[in-house]
Structure 1
Amino acid sequence: MAFSADELRVLRRALATALNPAPLQDEDIQDCLRLAASVDDAVREAGRLRAFLLADLTRYREALPGSLPGYLDLLQDALGAGYDPGVDDLAALRALRAHPRAAGLLERCQVLAERSVRARLARVSQAVAPGPRVRLLALPGGRAAADEPKPATPKQPPAPTKRPAPKPSEVFPPRRRPVPPPPPEERAVG
Structure 2
Amino acid sequence: MAFGADELRVLRRALATVLHPMPLPDEDVQDCLRLAGAVDEAVGEAGRMRAFLLADLARYRGALPGSAAGYLELLQDALVGGYDPVPDDLAALRALRHRPVAAALLERCRTATERSVRSRLAGRAVPAPAPRGRLLALPGGRAADGEPERPKTPAAPPGPAVPPERPAPKPSEVFPPRRRPVPPVGRRVAG
Q: Could you give the per-residue CA deviations for residues 20-65 of structure 1, whole angstroms, max 9, x where no partner exists?
A: 2222221111111100100111111111111111111001001111
C-alpha separation in 2, matches of 1:70 and 1:85: 16
Q: Specify the alignment match of 1:58 in structure 2.
A: 58
Cα 1:94/1:39, change in 2 over 3 Å: same
Cα 1:115/1:23, change in 2 over 3 Å: farther
Unaligned runs of 5+ in 1: 128-190
SS at match of 1:8: helix
C-alpha separation in 2, matches of 1:76 and 1:42: 23
Q: Specify the alignment match of 1:100 in structure 2.
A: 100
C-alpha separation in 1, matches of 2:85 and 2:15: 37
C-alpha separation in 2, matches of 1:68 and 1:126: 34
SS at match of 1:47: helix
Q: Specify the alignment match of 1:113 in structure 2.
A: 113
Q: Specify the alignment match of 2:85 in structure 1.
A: 85
Give the residue type in structure 1 aligned to 2:26: D
C-alpha separation in 2, matches of 1:96 and 1:7: 47
Q: Specify the alignment match of 1:28 in structure 2.
A: 28
C-alpha separation in 2, matches of 1:11 and 1:117: 40
Q: Percent same amino acid at aligned positions? A: 75
Q: Could you give the per-residue CA deviations for residues 89-140 of structure 1, whole angstroms, max 9, x where no partner exists?
A: 1111112111110010111111112222233334xx369xxxxxxxxxxxxx
Give the residue type in structure 2 aligned to 1:85: P
C-alpha separation in 2, matches of 1:7 and 1:116: 38
Q: CA deviation at 1:18?
A: 1.9
Q: Specify the alignment match of 2:136 in structure 1.
A: none
TM-score, length-scaled by structure 2: 0.61
Q: Specify the alignment match of 2:17 in structure 1.
A: 17
TM-score, length-scaled by structure 1: 0.61
Cα 1:95/1:126, change in 2 over 3 Å: closer
Give the residue type in structure 1 aligned to 2:19: L
SS at match of 1:22: coil
Give the residue type in structure 1 aligned to 2:102: A
Q: CA RMSD in A?
A: 1.6
SS at match of 1:113: helix
Q: Specify the alignment match of 1:38 in structure 2.
A: 38
SS at match of 2:2: coil
Query: Is the radius of gyration larger for structure 1 or structure 2?
Result: 1
Higher relative contact order (CA 8 A, sep 6+): 2
Q: Specify the alignment match of 1:67 in structure 2.
A: 67
